[in-house]
Structure 1
Amino acid sequence: MNEKNNSLDILGVKSLGDATNTIITKSIGGIESFLKIVCKPAFEEFGLMLGDKVRHWRVNNIINVLEKSQDKLEFRDNKLELKINPRIALGIIENASLTDENELQDLWSGLFAASCNHDEKNDENIIFIDFLKSITCTQAKILKYVCENSIKVIYNNGLMTSEKLILNVDKLKEISGILDLYRLDRELDHLTHLNLIGQDIFNGSGGIKISDFTANVTPTTLALNLYVRCNGYNGDPQFYWTNNIIHKKSSEIKTITVIGSEK
């Protein structure tokens, strides 16, 4: 038996049916060595999951996420010398396995890639796992839009924030694909509760303003950091953005950017 088959046997693939075995064997070939290198405990946990037919769907989700993570990392001389903290790796694998939505898988893969560095004890990105596992696919679409389209402000003290961003309901429906006004408001309420977007008063919470059917969706500094990490970047967030950036003194007052309002 060759080395590759031995490795796959350790993962428990043989316990699966022939058809499933063929699919999993083919899929795991591309990520097996990758996961072994960056985090052995995560590799072993992954192997346990492969031995459970009930978790086949979750395994496929993890494979997709890890394959996307590899694409976001740079290899030197065909070698990967980065490591990831086991707490982060296991947390991402456990939670990312629960979704097959491309938008969310992209975010999980980016967070995995951003957490790979030269210090496997580095656990700074663990705070983003709770945020990411708490948002819906709709909320991910809204966050992506507001983080990419808001004007980022770099103050002279080094703090990065965003200018106030207001969207009307029609624009929010277009971004999210949600036509149900009540559901849309709930999605915004939750993002506000997570401190990822700005706040408005609507029945005592964040969301859509009843007076003009607009919402304050200004991404917080936390949201901008989350977005950057979920795109595979682990450097200083202010250097990630190349567009829509202005520099201000900390004493300056923020202006308001309105997108989608009626003229």
Structure 2
Amino acid sequence: MSSDKKTTKFDLSSSALESGIDIAKSFVDKLVTPPIEELGLLVKDQISYWRFNNQIRILNKAKALCEKNKINIKSLPPKLLCPYLENASLEDDNDLQDKWAALLVNMVDSEQNIQNHVFPYILSQLSKDEFDLLESVLIEKKKRIFDLSKELSEFIETRSNIENSLKLKIEEQKAKLEKLSPDGKFVFSSEAMQTKSSIRSIETELRSLAYKELVLRRQISAPQSIPEQNIKEFEIANIIRLGLAKVVYEASAGTHSIDIPGDRESSYTSVDFDIEIETETSTILTELGELFIDACREKTA
């Protein structure tokens, strides 16, 4: 019993595809040399309509972003563009297609130097939930750095005036205390006690200024933690596998007791320590993770 094998052919010149193909092809021709026909990037033997259609959509989105942001396009080497198109063709989620388009736009932007061969692979390995979580973490970090940097700048600008103001307050309180303490003898009156307490408080505030800049700089450079309660265990494992996040350990010593035996016949004293050490772990966004998420986002003026 014989059966006939039927081969489905797509009419790429049909009215349904002609417009989209022409737009995408004209855009890709600007990205790579030699011409697209010699590479066979979009239309290959046996390529499925589904993958081809995904490529068309993503390329047209990229073209629209380039026009919107007036991107000066540079060409990409086939070694980078071919894997990009191959991986992008498998993505049918509309939101992630936007990320693929943004990644291509950033790679072809002549004002940027993004030609990382691993980024298309990483994007192909992420789900929408995983990407959205990492993007929200990066946005939160950028906001934190912006707010703290603004606070640091204002502090540095006003620090001298704040110090002078505090020193003046101390002198005023000391002068007040001298009036309340005739002959240099301290009077234990309620007002005198309050004045002395006020001096100590202002002196403490003055000393704290020396550490405020250091604290702010440390907060600015601190890594951003990923809220693991918002993601499944296998998803965080995937993010770590891709190098976008890593686990860090922090150890802290707790209270401990010392036992000294009361044996009078011993020629020496032995001391036993019971030390409690607590280890905390957190998952943080890596530098690679930041660079990758940034590369997949549309740049705004």
The TM tier, using the shorter chain, reads 0.5 to 0.7
CA contact (8 A) 2:42 2:52 kept: yes
1:174-197 Cα offsets, whole Å, 9 max, x none, are: xxxxxxxxxx10010111122212
SS at match of 2:284: coil
CA contact (8 A) 2:71 2:109 kept: no
1:197-238 Cα offsets, whole Å, 9 max, x none, are: 23168xxxxxxxxxxxx98453211111111111255xxxxx
* Higher helix fraction (1 or 2): 2
How many residue pairs are counted as aligned between the two chains?
193
List alignment gaps of at least 5 residues for structure 1. Answer: 1-14, 174-183, 202-213, 234-239, 243-263
SS at match of 2:48: helix
CA RMSD of aligned residues (A): 3.9
Task: Compute the TM-score of the two structures, normalised by the length of structure 2.
Answer: 0.52
What does residue 195 of structure 1 align with? 243
CA contact (8 A) 1:82 1:117 kept: yes
Q: Bigger CA drift: 18-27 or 222-231?
A: 18-27
Partners of 2:233 and 2:47 lie apart in 1 by: 35
- Residue correspondence of structure 1 range 251-262 to structure 2 within 5 A: none
Deviation of residue 29 (structure 1)? Answer: 2.5
- Residue correspondence of structure 1 range 24-39 to structure 2 within 5 A: 24-39=17-32
What does residue 83 of structure 2 align with? 91
Is 1:104 the counterpart of 2:96? The answer is yes
CA contact (8 A) 2:51 2:90 kept: yes
Partners of 2:133 and 2:221 lie apart in 1 by: 17
1:117-141 Cα offsets, whole Å, 9 max, x none, are: 449xx77322322322222233212
Partners of 1:79 and 1:140 lie apart in 2 by: 25
Change in 2 beyond 3 A, CA 1:16/1:57 = same
Quick one: which of 112, 134, 137 aligns to 1:146? Answer: 137
CA contact (8 A) 1:96 1:108 kept: yes
What does residue 260 of structure 2 align with? none
2:227 maps to a residue whose letter is L
1:163 maps to a residue whose letter is P
1:65-121 Cα offsets, whole Å, 9 max, x none, are: 111211222579x996532222221111011001101232222211211111449xx
Is 1:231 the counterpart of 2:231? The answer is no
